[in-house]
Amino acid sequence: MSEEPAVGSESKRSLISALLGIIGILLYAITGWLYLGTGLVMPYPWVYGMWAIWVAGVFVLVRVVRQSPAWTATVPVAAVVIWVTLVELGSWLFGWTA
């Protein structure tokens, strides 16, 4: 005998997925503060590139939200990893300091 899922399980899964999507969007908005403050550490030609990376991340975020909202929280994590990596590389290679 095969068990059929409960009637409310699909709507519950959809609600959880939507909540994860909203959390991911809010977290990505918070990463915007990191990227806006990049000018305190990097020279401005590089800051414009960082802002372009953040805007590109918005397009990625929209795509992920539409396809699989449960994975939306990975986009802000990736944004922070990219920011930290580029700031650290800049400080090691070019001597950028705050």
For residues 8-26, average pLDDT: 87
Q: Cα–Cα distance between 6 and 41 in angstroms, integer? A: 53
Query: What proportion of the chain, given as a percentage, has pLDDT over 70?
Result: 92
pLDDT attached to residue 3? 62
Domain that holds residue 67: 13-94
pLDDT band at 9 (very low <50, low <70, confident <90, very high): confident
Is residue 62 included in any domain, yes or no?
yes
pLDDT attached to residue 7? 57
Whether the per-residue pLDDT at 1 is higher than 60: the answer is: no
Amino acid present at 5: P
Q: Cα–Cα distance between 23 and 90 in angstroms, integer? A: 30
Is residue 60 included in any domain, yes or no?
yes
For residues 18-35, average pLDDT: 94
Round the average pLDDT of the chain to a whole number and report it. 90
User: For the chain, what is the radius of gyration of the CA atoms?
Assistant: 18
Is residue 80 included in any domain, yes or no?
yes
Is residue 3 included in any domain, yes or no?
no
Give the side-chain half-sphere CA count within 13 A for 95: 0
Number of domains forming the structure of the chain: 1
